[in-house]
Amino acid sequence: MIRRLIALTVAAVSLTVAITAVTAAPAAASSFATCSTGKVEAKAYSNIPVFYQPDTSSTIVDYVQRGQYADCSQTTGVKLGGRYNGCGATNANAWILVSYSRYTPPDGWIDPVGYTYAVCWSDF
């Protein structure tokens, strides 16, 4: 009887450890923002460029700093555009359309809208 009780206890502990290991595993993070939530956060570097069109030869609208939040177009989602190297990616071409507000002295509040490197952002 005692051997059976010990065997059941060991089995229960093993099952608990196995369940804990499965539930404690972190979910795989997306390698870039997809605009699935309509909100994104700049995760990579500072001075991330925002362009008028999804191409590095386009006019730069603004620069975004790490930790900044922005709205992004769920309708557009990720758009394929010109190739770029940035935020640890080489020859990437995934772009997202973002809009945000920020204060710029002496002009006051500005509301830039433009395309930026999807690899520099994560869904928020």
73 in a structural domain: yes
29 in a structural domain: no
pTM for the whole thing?
0.71
Task: Determine how β-strand 69-72 pairs with β-strand 113-117.
Answer: unpaired
Domain count, the chain: 1
Full residue range of the structural domain in which residue 67 is found? 39-123
- In angstroms, the CA 63 to CA 100 distance is 11
30 in a structural domain: no
109 in a structural domain: yes
pLDDT tens, 22-65?
A: 333 333 334 789 999 999 999 977 899 999 999 999 999 999 99
84 in a structural domain: yes
114 in a structural domain: yes
Nearest of 102, 71, 101 to residue 116 by alpha carbon = 71
